[in-house]
Structure 1
């Protein structure tokens, strides 16, 4: 077996005379998989019901002859101009009532029956024609669902939303109770009165906002499963995937998506791009995306479907990658469970919005840093082929619940600086810097395999999930909870007193009042809190640290109740690292391998016990890492020296 290696290939953008050179250079680089047809709808269906597959036939045949497999896309992410012009009702409407026009991608309403019919019709045509093509390795549905059209507020969406709510609540009495519509005289007396949370004079109902986000995620998922099920029927045995965006898209409930992408003939895949404005290190960003993607599939093999060889095109300032960064990021994803490394895209485009997006074959051609690293990475992936099929295992889980984060984003919170996704990724980065490998998990999941569970931001928590956390702690697990957690139920209604309602007994505390803050707040253990503090009363918990100044001076800041820890403030990064380190030590959690600062170490294991230590030096100086085994990248016994910016994959033992 071998790791997948390649990228998005868009032959429709180039004259056919270029295709032979593409295949020749792909072979030189070690490419063995090309994603074909992602944005080729207009190329494949130039007019309604008129399909032209002769060029796709030729490119698939050429790739197969060159020994390159195909991840064949259904091309449904970008409806062609003729379709949108003929059926303007499929175009999305924003919350202000503006109908957006075509001219970009994903310009469709996710609830549109006409869009879904056209998309599944095209997928059917492709499946019937190519289900037994020898190049076909997997199916690629759509592309980056919800990236640009996460929610639509049109009348079609409104009717679909009402249907969704009928299934969820049954009747209007239950809906009114869940949303608390007695507030501001919002009570509904007829289903026709219920609409999406369109623009209004002030803030909308929080329960309505939350359910509309749930509904919108489900609508996109229904589009995916419609195509997936058709492909399974017409092309049995061929894996089906769609590329998620685990570090960039917060509008889809990826736990629900993971359940639909895991199992026979299904594959979780992900796109990840480093964000220059993100305060975390690029490698920490990449590690989070990989760990979450792995977790969505329950630890099963997954695939990095897209990342960049260097700069992207869509940020305010698009940074080129430093020498070796391409190799380090790619192998970092493989270390965390990916069964390969794919890029957007193969050949840099000469026209269009992404013409300045880097590619495997850049505008500079083969005489370039990018091309040399692309070829080198292809060789590395071949050299470590025996690692394929092994798994990355973690002792720590960070809890992530999308509806909880959505509810926390609703207007009229005590502080708009309490952003759940930012806090979850910040805690993950602290673990990454400490060398601790972590999974992400839903609070309702079976957590018994983990020594330590962290809940950085869990504002919404159902009674059932709170009971699962209690059982986890009573069973010997260690839990650490961040501020502003356990406060509301699944409808964004405040739990009964005392606060934090769903977690008060488990944490042994009582929160009296919230105190958002602008200035840093010192703690008596030398730590510093920021953004948020709480008036906490210990109700059985041990006080680990107190506020040393400000309106809460002398009050509990950090507490411990048996093996359940709580932080009522957002600790500064160094202090968070120190606190989590202390918690991890009590839980018996250790780094994957002892390494000096600046070196990342991750371990993959086969079921038969074979293990592989991935070492990545992100620093500017050589490092010494003690380990015994064979470095698969060099074929020589591991000497312990890891060059500056270097990588190694050590078969241990």
Structure 2
């Protein structure tokens, strides 16, 4: 249930003790003249806004020079917001250093693997490991915290902004020194590092720590474990900065919750967010829709994964867009109903706050064509009317605040080490896309109307009857034992090609693939069979398959069933999909990429041993997404229309909290609409 720290933010500045869903945006009053501010607060109240993030990119305004401070404008903004009953998620303003700092200290600027300096003029032009930057940033944090520690509008702290969005990989000398410190802590001795990195290959053995560098531009492929460790280090370096800011905030304001906005979306993979989650009081996320055939599936996937990172507890949607963004090749405006549907789909997956970038659309700057709650057209606009309507809906959904996501029968395991390692160079194929494979499984389950949770290796995997682990490439011995125990004790594991192949050091498990999972799956593969772009193979009972094939030999013929075989290709007649019974559970292997349609056809057979099927009526499956949040005395069923057509949903009990009234025992969902049912426990 909701924590005391989170409840402070949900109450907002007006102090109303009743739990509610927070609603708001990034607010950048420094971009506007003073006479706009009171109008902003009036419109915020009209829209139902309860919280805004302030000061995110205000360092140059707050500190115009090394020893010059200007807080007068921010004092006034904080007072105005409090008077309007609006809470402030106050940023530490460290996201982008001001020109005076980079001019005086160009050594804080990041350096690419090619040795190029990333200069000022955009944002996040700082090295995560720069001691000079750290000194100035923490001085700013302490000054802001000291000034506003007792301000009644303050409901949360917002550390930096989208940490690592543009500076996750820095290859500077500062980074090299910090990388060596990190490696000493990880390995202890050079002998251990040389073993982990396999430096006997290509004469790379190190005899002194000072010889070690980040994986900069090299004559050929850099050492793969060095690359993997640099990814781990880079995530840790940003986390260390997060912790450094948090420690100052907790020292000065121990009762104010601290968060930072993750970016669980698209191919943003540099930050190991499950590892960061324990360092903040509540998880926050930014998400923007990427137009395409799986655009809303990807939104659902990312919201679901954010919930998994938050261990099922409520989290906060810190940024998304009311309509078009500005940074895609073509920036498409949202259609009627999509503003609300997108927001409520995040709420369905556990968000207790819905916030946008930004409150008022900028008149200048790189993001002036990015939509906002108040667009360039002003409050007399369809966008603002939709914003106010959503505010009213969120007030109706106040009972949902604090409810956790109800565990689904199916879990999809998402692993950052496997994501990082499986897509490195010098592999059987460069066409593999870890996230896309996981998203395809998720989309296929949505098409079948089957609920699934995105979970990490930190989760209790036994909570799920079925566990899907796509491209689980990195499998340490401990995880292999856990997955074996999971299946033997009644769980049903499903994994795919290029899984179980390496350990945590990116060393191949010898004896045949899939390495650490070979005995559990009852199969052995001597050689991979990646497919060329545009090439496919036919399977009997599934298919076609693309990207990958395996030459599978069944090693446990007694307990292993061949669910499908190859009909074409070099492995024609050999197994393509297998399932082995073990203990009271099973372990299945899918050796090719089947895509959404192929997985949709295959999944009922894979789910059958667990007795898992859709909770939706048959005519709503694939057309409606069902997500459930559970409180202490009631559960909430979110029904999201995935189509542009009207969809009736029958057979679900509960009081209608949001959505159309029942008609002839059916709940009618309009195009792109959302309904919420409340059921007593």
TM-score, length basis structure 2: 0.93
Deviates more, 1:125-134 or 1:583-592: 583-592
Corresponding residue to 1:617 among 628, 633, 641: 641
Corresponding residue to 2:224 among 202, 206, 209: 206
Aligned to 1:113: 131
1:525-562, Cα deviation, whole Å (9 max, x unpaired):
24211110010001112111100011100011000001
Aligned to 1:297: 310
| Alpha-carbon offset, residue 453 of structure 1 | 0.6
Aligned: 1:645 with 2:672: yes
| Alpha-carbon offset, residue 18 of structure 1 | 0.5
Corresponding residue to 1:399 among 409, 413, 429: 413
Aligned to 2:95: 77
Aligned to 1:572: 595
Question: SS at 1:570's partner residue?
Answer: coil
Deviates more, 1:643-652 or 1:106-115: 643-652
Structure 2 matches for 1:7-18, cutoff 5 A? 7-18=25-36
Structure 2 matches for 1:39-188, cutoff 5 A? 39-188=57-206
Aligned: 1:310 with 2:354: no
Distance 2:265 2:523 in 1: 33
Cα distance change of structure 1 residues 288 and 526 upon mapping to structure 2, 3 Å threshold: closer
Cα distance change of structure 1 residues 340 and 435 upon mapping to structure 2, 3 Å threshold: farther
1:179-225, Cα deviation, whole Å (9 max, x unpaired):
00110111111111110000011110001000011000000000001
Distance 1:597 1:295 in 2: 23
Q: Is the 8 A contact 2:614 2:621 kept in 1?
A: no
Deviates more, 1:455-464 or 1:432-441: 432-441
Distance 1:635 1:381 in 2: 16
Distance 2:330 2:660 in 1: 40
Aligned to 2:606: 583
Q: Is the 8 A contact 1:630 1:636 kept in 2?
A: no
| Alpha-carbon offset, residue 334 of structure 1 | 0.4
Aligned to 2:574: 555
Distance 2:446 2:563 in 1: 24
Q: Is the 8 A contact 1:596 1:625 kept in 2?
A: no
Aligned: 1:259 with 2:274: no
Distance 1:111 1:230 in 2: 18
Q: Is the 8 A contact 1:398 1:424 kept in 2?
A: yes
Runs of 5+ unmatched residues, structure 2:
1-18
Aligned to 2:623: 598
Cα distance change of structure 1 residues 526 and 408 upon mapping to structure 2, 3 Å threshold: closer
Instruction: Please provide the CA RMSD for this pair.
Output: 1.4
Aligned to 1:362: 375
Distance 2:179 2:345 in 1: 41
Aligned to 2:50: 32
Distance 1:453 1:58 in 2: 53
1:485-518, Cα deviation, whole Å (9 max, x unpaired):
0001111111121211100000000011111113
Distance 1:188 1:284 in 2: 47
Aligned to 2:543: 527
| Alpha-carbon offset, residue 49 of structure 1 | 3.1
Q: Is the 8 A contact 1:596 1:624 kept in 2?
A: no
Aligned: 1:630 with 2:665: no
Aligned: 1:321 with 2:334: yes
Distance 2:453 2:259 in 1: 21
Distance 2:435 2:595 in 1: 17
Distance 1:398 1:646 in 2: 26
Distance 1:588 1:40 in 2: 55
Question: SS at 1:516's partner residue?
Answer: coil
Distance 1:234 1:604 in 2: 35
Deviates more, 1:361-370 or 1:180-189: 361-370
Distance 1:170 1:530 in 2: 43
Distance 1:473 1:403 in 2: 22
Distance 1:445 1:30 in 2: 36
Aligned residues: 646
Cα distance change of structure 1 residues 189 and 230 upon mapping to structure 2, 3 Å threshold: same
Runs of 5+ unmatched residues, structure 1:
none
TM-score, length basis structure 1: 0.97
Aligned to 1:271: 286
Distance 1:509 1:634 in 2: 50
Distance 2:542 2:435 in 1: 27
Structure 2 matches for 1:327-338, cutoff 5 A? 327-338=340-351
Distance 2:321 2:206 in 1: 49
Distance 1:369 1:16 in 2: 26
